[in-house]
Structure 1
Amino acid sequence: MAAPAPDNDVTVPGWTPSYEWKAVLLLTLGFGLVGLDRWIIAPLAPAMIGDLGMTPQDVNNLVAVLGVAWGVSAVLMGGLSDRIGRRRVLIPSIVFFSLMSGFSGMATGFLALFAVRAMMGVAEGAFCPTSFAATAEASKPSRRGFNQGLQQATFALFGLGFGPIIATQLLQHVGWREVFLLVAIPGLIVALLLWLVIREPRFIAEKAARAADAEPVPAASLGELFAHRNVGLGMASLLCAMCGIFVLSANIPLYLTESLGLSPTDMGLVTSAIGFGGFAGQWGLPALSDIFGRRPMAVAGFVLGAVFLWFFMQVGAEPGMLFVLLFLSCAFSFGLLALITGPIATEAAPPGRISTTAGIIIGSGEIFGGGLALVVAGAVIAAYGIDSMLYLALGGLLAGCVLTPFLRETAPRRTGR
């Protein structure tokens, strides 16, 4: 008989199916707003460039600084909620990044906007691993992949699916500054609801009791955090996935309008395929991994994401075909983000260190794949043109094809644990 796996599914006091669906629903909405606030800048970029005197490289740098700040924050603050509680991190962070989204609309120049987006990344970096841990703890183990996939799927749906449509439609009636202000409001509402609903897991109460009795609480060493090989592989694989999908997401609006000559309306519709495809993949790939295993679905995500991106690169100004191929590529590519930072990270974590482990994996991917890769993309575009960013995105996905076969399988149904 296989040895029992470490208990990484730390339940909250008074857990019920009712608490599970309410907590997962609110955390899902919260992470969707993270995506909306983060990515609304891409479809607004063509309008902002002329107003603020920016270049395509400036747009990539704005997306990059948020990613780097997000990554550093996730590493440094990912374990904070393991010590002080989920609510004390979730509520302030969602309030702060919502306010920063609104302040983006008040920026008078590139440097001011750069600073605001960096501060926004700090708040989102704290919210991200904490919300993933809270979802894992609110979920029944057999539904962990399904629930975490649903939560992360709204990042793409709100940010890259509805976002381009919302932005391009609102721009017909208001300026880009007003769009930033409007999308900040829902986050404040969700913050209040999270404060009313979210409970703390039992291990935090146990730590508080030990602290009251003056018993030392040892911190997890780096050796303990990296004892499971999926932590290191997860970091590298997430970097590859983010290099592919984030470079694509930041630059597709400019590629469609400048290289292929699509109208702003057609650009918004085609770009929305990233979000709708990402929604399907971020929910579907982790859910399928509950049945078929984490490793097979990770390999499939990289291989099929790269294949459909290659076919997308061969298509000209045909909005319908562009939408279909971009949808399929992003379904698999974005599904990897949810799979790696969700169940793969959760099941590789030492007991009581889910948020810490998720923070390390997310942070490394954000710093290098969601941050520095975009700086490189901006430089490559400046030197070789907007089309060149497609090859950088494809390279990231192909690199992931090499890494993921070495993942250790951890899905409960596949391991029998």
Structure 2
Amino acid sequence: MNVTPPLTPSTAAPLQVESSKSYEWKAVTLMALGMGLVGIDRFLIVPLMPVLMRDLKLDYQDLGHITGALALAWGLSALLTGNLSDRIGFKRVIVPAMVGFSLLAGLGGLATGVGSLIAIRAFMGVAEGAFTPASIIATMDASPPSRHGRNVGIQQMMPALLGLGLTPIVVTQLLKVMNWPWIFLLVAFPGLIVAFLAQRVLRRPSPVEIAKHTATHDAAHHRWYEVFRYRNVPLGIICMLCWLACQIVIAALFPNYLVDYLHLDIQQMGFILSSLGFGGAIGALVLPALSDRVGRKPVMLASAAGVFLSLWIFLRTGASPVALFICLMIAMGCLYSLITLTVGPVAAEAVPVQLMSTASGMIIGIGEVFGGGVAPAYAGYLAKHFGIEHAVTMPLWTICAGAIAVAALKETAPARIFNKRGIESEENGGNGG
């Protein structure tokens, strides 16, 4: 008869490490796929706009309301549900939210007019806003502290890659073989599958277990408003306002700048704007991983400088599509790095465990509502009264303001903190499996 020998500390440790690594790649993959589906659901409607306008009798103002309803609901939901995730656990928020935004995305195919489409997109924004901060904390929980930046970067690159990069290509091809309601229904199924797998895979760690992912190691109970006592949160809100103002103004005004001011044609404009998705994905993947080694602040300051210099050259480059593409790709890569680090490690590592989702939700929510709402309206005013060539300089000033806030942030990268204290960081002590 075979008798299994008891586990000794020497044999148990490798098994625990292997289990931790297995859970890490499974959880990070699922959360990355979830964020990718959020990007697809959010930007799916963009290439469908001309068809929706024709079939549902929409006008330009209707399109603005549809877009604004999702952004507003997303921001308010992230603002309010972050603390819910801290109180009941990220898994109890993530799985229902994924089921919700998947079903609502499919329900968009049944819309009959502007009212129903606005309502569907608003409720979808509520579900996606709840999912986002909770999924960031789930990714960090699955990761050793030495890989927080890399793994959150993998997760955050997916909306850019799938939503901005691939969705317009796939959707326009699908329109050749099916009507738009079926495209909406088609995107619901992957989300339901990922939600089922998340229910099976994601664990429900205790606050003490998650506390090792923060700089405070504080697992005590805290009220939601105490999050503002940690300076990275108010500074992160300022940063996010600046980053989103820059991103939204680029998305809103640069197409017209390229066509109306530089007199490029539609195909050239589309080629240049494709850099938004692919550049953002590369930046989110590479630069946050670098921050695990050299620190969050150095990478963020370098990224802010990269955005500023790239946009400065962009605005001084004539009608040269290749040069404009390269400049915008570098700018968006650095910008997505800033967004990823702000909503992830910089916020969550700086606060007690019971405030991690709250901190991320506050930064995402306030940034989405105000940075994504007020900035484009002001930029539109400048474009109307002073010319679009003056309005497109606004991202330069928002990046400068954000860089000042970055300089005041508290460093949270474990490698930098441990090195400063003379303590060697432990590579695989992240999650307890």
Counterparts in 2 of 1:374 and 1:145: CA distance versus 1, 3 Å? same
Identical columns (%): 46
**Pairwise CA distance, 1:84:** 1.8
Residue 280 of structure 1 pairs with residue 282 of structure 2: yes
Q: Which residue of 2 aligns with 1:35?
A: 39
Per-residue CA deviations over 1:194-218 (Å, capped at 9, x if unaligned) read 1111111122999xxxxxxxxxx95
**Pairwise CA distance, 1:295:** 1.2
Distance 1:397 1:83 in 2: 34
1:263-302 matches, cutoff 5 A: 266-302=268-304
Q: What is the SS of the residue equivalent to 1:298? A: helix
With normalisation by structure 2, the TM-score equals 0.82
- Tell me which amino acid in the other structure corresponds to 2:240: L
Distance 1:328 1:144 in 2: 23
Per-residue CA deviations over 1:252-304 (Å, capped at 9, x if unaligned) read 55655666665655544432211111111112221111122111222222221
Q: Which residue of 2 aligns with 1:154?
A: 158
Residue 231 of structure 1 pairs with residue 212 of structure 2: no
CA contact (8 A) 1:69 1:119 kept: yes
Residue 192 of structure 1 pairs with residue 196 of structure 2: yes
Q: What is the SS of the residue equivalent to 2:229? A: coil
Residue 141 of structure 1 pairs with residue 167 of structure 2: no
Distance 2:355 2:284 in 1: 23
Counterparts in 2 of 1:359 and 1:347: CA distance versus 1, 3 Å? same
Residue 122 of structure 1 pairs with residue 131 of structure 2: no
**Pairwise CA distance, 1:368:** 1.0
CA RMSD of aligned residues (A): 3.0
**Pairwise CA distance, 1:23:** 0.5
With normalisation by structure 1, the TM-score equals 0.85
CA contact (8 A) 1:56 1:378 kept: no
- Tell me which amino acid in the other structure corresponds to 1:168: T
- Tell me which amino acid in the other structure corresponds to 2:154: L
Q: What is the SS of the residue equivalent to 1:408? A: coil
**Unaligned ranges ≥5, structure 2:** 1-15, 211-219, 422-433
Distance 1:149 1:368 in 2: 24
Distance 1:69 1:403 in 2: 27
**Pairwise CA distance, 1:193:** 1.2
CA contact (8 A) 2:75 2:367 kept: yes
- Comparing 24-33 with 178-187, which one deviates more in the overlay? 178-187
Residue 94 of structure 1 pairs with residue 98 of structure 2: yes
The match for 2:79 among 45, 58, 75 is 75
Residue 360 of structure 1 pairs with residue 346 of structure 2: no
- Comparing 361-370 with 173-182, which one deviates more in the overlay? 173-182
**Pairwise CA distance, 1:91:** 1.1
**Pairwise CA distance, 1:370:** 2.4
Distance 2:98 2:25 in 1: 20
Residue 415 of structure 1 pairs with residue 423 of structure 2: no
Per-residue CA deviations over 1:345-380 (Å, capped at 9, x if unaligned) read 111121332112111111111111123434445555
Q: Which residue of 2 aligns with 1:209?
A: none
Counterparts in 2 of 1:399 and 1:154: CA distance versus 1, 3 Å? same
Counterparts in 2 of 1:169 and 1:312: CA distance versus 1, 3 Å? farther
Counterparts in 2 of 1:299 and 1:57: CA distance versus 1, 3 Å? farther
Counterparts in 2 of 1:41 and 1:221: CA distance versus 1, 3 Å? closer
Q: What is the SS of the residue equivalent to 2:187? A: helix
CA contact (8 A) 1:168 1:268 kept: no
Q: Which residue of 2 aligns with 1:241?
A: 243
1:311-326 matches, cutoff 5 A: 311-326=313-328
Q: How many residues align structurally?
A: 395
Q: What is the SS of the residue equivalent to 2:112? A: coil
Q: Which residue of 1 aligns with 2:223?
A: 220
Per-residue CA deviations over 1:147-182 (Å, capped at 9, x if unaligned) read 111111112111111123223333444454444333
Distance 2:125 2:85 in 1: 17
Counterparts in 2 of 1:171 and 1:373: CA distance versus 1, 3 Å? farther
- Tell me which amino acid in the other structure corresponds to 1:29: L
- Tell me which amino acid in the other structure corresponds to 2:248: F
Q: Which residue of 2 aligns with 1:404?
A: 406
Q: Which residue of 2 aligns with 1:110?
A: 114
